[in-house]
Structure 1
Amino acid sequence: MRTLAFIALAGAVLGSPVPALAQAAPSDAAPLPRREGLSMEMPTLSEDAALQAAVASTSRPEADRARDGERHPFETLTFWGLQPGLTVVEIEPGRAGWWRNILEPYAAATGGRYVPVNRPTEGMGVADGSADMVVVARAFHNWSRDGRVEPYLAAFFQALKPGGVLAVEQHRAAEGLNVTETAPNGYVPESWVIHAARRAGFELEARSELNANPKDDRDHPFGVWSLKPTRTSERDGRALTPDERTALDAIGESDRMTLRFRKPYAAD
């Protein structure tokens, strides 16, 4: 039986309490688990036929399905722990609804519930302590710029049941940089996201390089939006040359962290 495998690292809350959220991870923060070294086996595609069908469905836009090779939807959702019958809240699914076009029909087919939420502090669409999973894709760079990270994470924590999962996919900046400098380009350091979630009460359970892209050096004329799928090619009087456009397209989509946090089972 063919098995999909990728690198994932189990993370535990270690030792000292998490310090106050800062723009860069403070030096006395609990150490992060190493990325390399632990292989985590994934189930074969046939082990969740409903998810396989949702991903392969021709009802998904063709442009969505064309991105599967770079976004790895089946593997990513399996890494996050998606199962039949769960209540899944997606934060800011966007007009295109890339994840929604998989999660919503999957929930309908398996007796689960899909809840899209655009303004978490105004309501999470579920009763407190009832959500099984909260999905956040490519949003922390926006929230970091206007003070939304802490209140949003608090809302996620309140909505999740004990043992519930916070699933994160996010454009990843190089470590050691200040988020105020990287976020306008669409990237944030992985350690910054981890420490923000820990401060909100979450435990880092695993991190994966499934959506890593070493070709992305993060140095692009129009930030992450220079890359696929947005492919911004002109702004503020600056236009890419054909060679620049070709080089950026060759990179593919961004380098991304893929994280799984859990609300502690003993959480009130």
Structure 2
Amino acid sequence: MPTANPFAAALLVAASTLLGAHATAAAPDARLTEVLASSHRTPEFAARDGFRRPAETLDFFGLKPGMTVVEVSPGAGGWYTEILAPYLRGSGKLYAAHFNPESTVEYFRKSHTQFMDKIKAAPQIYDEISVTAFELPNLTEIAPVASADLVVTFRNVHSWYGRNGGDEGVRAAFRTFHKVLKPGGTLGVVEHRLPAGRPVSAQDESGYMLQAEVIRLAEEAGFTLSGISNINANPRDTADHPEGVWTLPPSLRLGDKDRARYEAIGESDRMTLRFTKAP
């Protein structure tokens, strides 16, 4: 009988860990379960849980009560803010690194205003949030240096790529996150996934990113990849739509044209990546 190869066994264990397959489901986080079921959530947001899988995603990123968390670019509605703020309230700290309220881009100013209106309207949920400004290349003081246990960002990498000089824009964003994380802290990234083998140029206007490129840019900013999950995968998404990722829900940029077809596809195929800052 041939002797087992210890090196092959070690590689198999490492690959299994990196893939984050969740073969054995973790015990449900009772606090997170309570928040997800709470009536404070916007009904249209909660209806997207089947596509965005917040419980599984936040578990994969290692969210725990008492953490200091930075949510980067939460958008006007704060889809994940509705979950993170009440979850951390009273035990941890949430920084919302939003758009610059004085930006020259009207969309950014309006988004920031809408977000602030939302959190001011419900102080019983959002009163402990610290809202900071994030705009490359100059506004990067999104949280105190080495203060965060976890930085999370959802479907934003393509924006830093498109608006801020391609690779360098993404690297600059990741360097910012690296700076505010504690040694050993975690960066969680969800992003629209361009199928492997497509040209890098396909990232320019589509809203999709190559997973290997996102990993490379994070590693160049000082991170180590610690997990990949298919929690947010959608094999129905071919990522070749006429208006890029915005063809699909929830944007549905084509309006009623082929609407049923795109609704049947659902939200985009997404990579879910976990990175670690060195201890």
- Name the TM-score class by shorter chain: 0.7 to 0.9
Once the 2 structures are TM-superposed, how far is the Cα of residue 165 of structure 1 from its aligned partner?
0.5
Pair 1:179-2:185 in alignment? no
Q: Letter of the 1:43 partner, please give it.
A: A
**Higher RCO (CA-CA < 8 Å; seq separation 6+):** 1
1:133 aligned residue: 150
Q: Give the gaps of 5 or more residues in structure 1.
A: 1-7, 12-34, 235-239
- Tell me by how many angstroms 1:9 deviates: 4.9
Checking the alignment, whether the CA contact within 8 Å between 1:213 and 1:256 is kept in structure 2 is yes
Q: TM-score, normalised by structure 1?
A: 0.79
Partner Cα separation in structure 2 for residue 214 and residue 152 of structure 1: 29
Deviation per residue, 1:203-256 (Å, 9 max, x gap): 10000011000000012121111111111115xxxxx63xx2111110011000
Matching residue of 2:235: 214
C-alpha contact 1:132 1:165 (8 A) present in aligned 2: yes
Residues 31-42 of structure 1 correspond to what in structure 2 (within 5 A)?
38-42=21-25
The answer for the alignment partner of 2:66 in structure 1 is: 85
How many angstroms does 1:44 deviate by?
3.0
Identity of aligned residues (%): 42
Question: Aligned equivalents of 2:23 and 2:69: distance in 1?
Answer: 23
Matched residues in 2 for 1:71 and 1:9: separation?
23
**Larger fraction in strand:** 1
**Aligned residue in 2 for 1:28:** none
Q: Deviations over 1:185-214 (max 9, x none)?
A: 110000000010111110100000110000
Amino acid at match of 2:27: T
3-state SS, counterpart of residue 31 of structure 2: helix
Report the alpha carbon displacement of residue 178 of structure 1 after superposing the two structures with TM.
Answer: 3.4
Residue aligned with 1:115, SS: strand
- For 1:202, the aligned partner's letter is F
8 A contact 1:88–1:132 mirrored in 2: yes
Distance 2:141 2:68 in 1: 12
Give me the whole-angstrom Cα distance separating, in 1, the residues matched to 2:223 and 2:73: 20
Q: Which amino acid aligns with 1:42?
A: A
Q: C-alpha displacement at 1:39, in angstroms?
A: 4.4
2:77 maps to 96
| Aligned residue number for residue 112 of structure 1 | 92
* Structure with the larger helix share: 2
Letter in 1 for 2:159: N
1:61 matches 2:42:
yes
8 A contact 1:131–1:164 mirrored in 2: yes
Residue 27 of structure 2 corresponds to 44
Supply the AA of the counterpart residue of 2:26. P
Partner of 2:106: none
How many corresponding residue pairs? 224
Q: Identify the residue that residue 15 of structure 1 maps to in structure 2.
A: none
Structure 2 equivalent of residue 251 of structure 1: 265
3-state SS in 2 of match to 1:169: strand
Q: Distance in 1 between matches of 2:226 and 2:23?
A: 13
Give the whole-Å Cα distance in 2 for the aligned partners of 1:221 and 1:177.
16
Query: Take 1:43 and 1:54, find their aligned partners in 2: how far apart are those partners?
Result: 18
Partner amino acid, structure 1, of 2:95: V
Match status 1:150 vs 2:157:
no
CA–CA distance in 2 between the matches of 1:183 and 1:261? 24
- Compute the TM-score of the two structures, normalised by the length of structure 2: 0.76
- Whether the aligned pair in 2 keeps the contact of 1:88 and 1:131 (CA below 8 Å) is yes
